[in-house]
Structure 1
Amino acid sequence: MKKLLYLMFGLFISGCSSQPKFLNEAQYTKKYFKIISKKYPEVIYEIKEPLVLKASYGKGKSVTHYLDNSYREYKLDPNDLDDIIEKYTNASAGVYTKSKEIDINRIVPVIKPSDYFEQLKTLGNSTYEDFKVPELIWEPYNEDLIIVYAEDRDNNINYFNQEEFEKLEIARDSLLEFSVNNLSNIVPKIETVGENGNFGLIAGGDYEVSLMLMTSIWTKENFDVDGEIVIAIPNRDLVFITGSNDNEAIEKLKNTVQESYETGNHSVSRSFYKWNGEKFEKL
């Protein structure tokens, strides 16, 4: 993942000599609306506000699409506008086929900030009054983070609710171990980049942060760092790794983590976390 490499080593990537006209939030929403309406003509779309679309489909069904993550990705590289919208609109197909049977072998754990549901509630209240935060399957991980369970699909990550989960006949207390085992089969080859006690992980772009749940990989044999293993996870596709005694590296990473959290898509946390032998706790 080039973005990870560039952030880790502080490289400045110059854009194309001829930059495209940059779209503000309202302009981006209109372009997204035009493309997704053409792609799914059976769905009725309505622009509620910049970066928020309401989609009505089926028999009285509706869903709200928040475009903030895709817009953040667009701001990182305006030249990729068409590819970004194509990727995100393709993912919407899974939303309209929600009735598709869940493949239990594709259930994965997704790390989210502990205020994830409050964020959803805030977004929902800004659009229409009858918005309800979905009753997803989740559990706490530490004081900052939670684990939300979902199904990995070809074009999207399908978050399922309590009613759907009960049909799967999976023991709730075994779900974490079960989903982590699935994750190890789903992610592509996990690559480590970096050197001299400072590393990063590459695993396809969707589940890098979820790798913190794979307890077997967090060893000094895999990550030769100064002190205990410390990670930073500003976005779901970025995992920075250093040592608890490497104060210089941690200080240098702080600005990178803050900037990535604020400007990247799918933000997770500004904090650093230390491996205690069983899990990561806030540093």
Structure 2
Amino acid sequence: MLKEMLRVAGGLMLCLWLACAPAYAADKDMPAEVFTRQVAEMVRERMPGVKVEVMAPLELNLVPASGEDARIYLNNIYTLYLAEQVDGRPALLERYIASYTEPLPEAPVKREEVVAVIKGNDWLAEMERLAKGQGKPYEGIYERLNAHLLVFYAQDMPTRMRYLNKSDLEAAGLDRSGLRPLAVANLKRQMPEIEVYREEVFSMVVAGGTYEASILLFDDFWKGERARMAGPPMVSVPARDLLLFVDSSNPEAVAQLEALTRKMWGDTAYAVSDALFIAAPGGWRPVER
């Protein structure tokens, strides 16, 4: 189901938005402290053998009977919760809690489960900070797409996404050099039909609400879009479920893309980057602004 978005960026109306995506004028009717306590209680009910500590607003620490502590940061789910219709909030929280409380599979990751996830520098910095706090280096598997974006590799499961590390690859017998084509092929196979909603100068990609940013890696898709334009495509990925693009030869479109990207990046959950990128030989080149 789609809903209209707010009018932004100099009068641009970008209609058609996923109902599960964050609204950009969220009703902040629950303080972060109250939300954190509510989530903590839900986790305690579902994980009675785990001590759940509230460290700060939107930050929990899980202490199992054995093994390492785990930090949970609630910023993204809090943003989604505030934007959700009141009657949809319980189900949203249940899905989120299930992603932490359901046990991980013991079998190695399967080749068909490997997917590519686009992230920004801030996300990598946060993962490295968390790992350092536990006295170890960050071991996630990723490669750099450009100065602002990275491609992480994850195991896609029904209720969660788990980022892969070196030991996961070894257990599954996966070669790191072949991850990109494998992960992209898997995404293409499992992703719903890619839809493009086009305004007069502006387009938005919709493909299920989780992996839209990863469509940057679909060369065949962009070959088709390039044929429609006078100049190379210019894109932005302010969040993992937001992929916006324009014809780079149109100055008005570029200005609208820049304004809308900054607005969305500042307000959305699962933020990626506020940078713009233009299609170039060898990949997506950051646009100097």
TM-score, structure 2 normalization = 0.84
SS at structure 1 position matched to 2:72: strand
**Structure 1 residue 49, shift from structure 2 partner:** 1.1
Partner of 1:259: 263
Partner of 1:84: 92
**Structure 1 residue 86, shift from structure 2 partner:** 1.7
2:226 and 2:233 in contact (8 A); partners too: no
**Structure 1 residue 102, shift from structure 2 partner:** 1.3
Separation (CA, whole Å) in 1 of partners of 2:2 and 2:254 = 21
With over 3 angstroms needed to count, the CA separation of the structure-2 counterparts of 1:219 and 1:20, relative to structure 1, is closer
Partner of 2:108: 101
Separation (CA, whole Å) in 1 of partners of 2:211 and 2:145 = 16
Partner of 2:194: 190
1:226 and 1:242 in contact (8 A); partners too: no
Separation (CA, whole Å) in 2 of partners of 1:249 and 1:133 = 42
Separation (CA, whole Å) in 2 of partners of 1:255 and 1:280 = 20
Number of matched pairs: 274
1:104 and 1:151 in contact (8 A); partners too: no
With over 3 angstroms needed to count, the CA separation of the structure-2 counterparts of 1:160 and 1:3, relative to structure 1, is farther
With over 3 angstroms needed to count, the CA separation of the structure-2 counterparts of 1:194 and 1:5, relative to structure 1, is farther
Q: Within 5 Å, which residues of 2 pair with 1:1-283? A: 2=2, 9-10=13-14, 22-57=29-64, 59-77=66-84, 79=86, 80-94=88-102, 96-97=103-104, 99-122=106-129, 129-130=133-134, 132=136, 134-221=138-225, 224-283=228-287
**Structure 1 residue 268, shift from structure 2 partner:** 0.4
SS at structure 2 position matched to 1:61: coil
**Structure 1 residue 190, shift from structure 2 partner:** 1.1
Identity of aligned residues (%): 24
1:114 and 1:140 in contact (8 A); partners too: no
SS at structure 2 position matched to 1:170: coil
Separation (CA, whole Å) in 2 of partners of 1:217 and 1:124 = 36
2:234 and 2:248 in contact (8 A); partners too: yes
**Structure 1 residue 11, shift from structure 2 partner:** 6.1
1:4 and 1:200 in contact (8 A); partners too: no
Deviations 1:79-101 (A, max 9, x none): 2432331221121135x426343
Residue 2 of structure 2 aligns with an amino acid whose one-letter code is K
2:16 and 2:197 in contact (8 A); partners too: no
With over 3 angstroms needed to count, the CA separation of the structure-2 counterparts of 1:263 and 1:122, relative to structure 1, is farther
With over 3 angstroms needed to count, the CA separation of the structure-2 counterparts of 1:196 and 1:20, relative to structure 1, is closer
1:109 and 1:150 in contact (8 A); partners too: yes
Worse-superposed segment, 52-61 or 176-185: 52-61
**Structure 1 residue 150, shift from structure 2 partner:** 0.4
Deviations 1:55-100 (A, max 9, x none): 1236323311110110111233362432331221121135x42634
Question: Unaligned 5+ residue runs, structure 2?
Answer: 18-25
Separation (CA, whole Å) in 2 of partners of 1:4 and 1:56 = 43
Question: Unaligned 5+ residue runs, structure 1?
Answer: 14-18
Residue 109 of structure 1 aligns with an amino acid whose one-letter code is A
Residue 51 of structure 1 aligns with an amino acid whose one-letter code is L
Separation (CA, whole Å) in 2 of partners of 1:49 and 1:124 = 19
Separation (CA, whole Å) in 1 of partners of 2:203 and 2:165 = 36
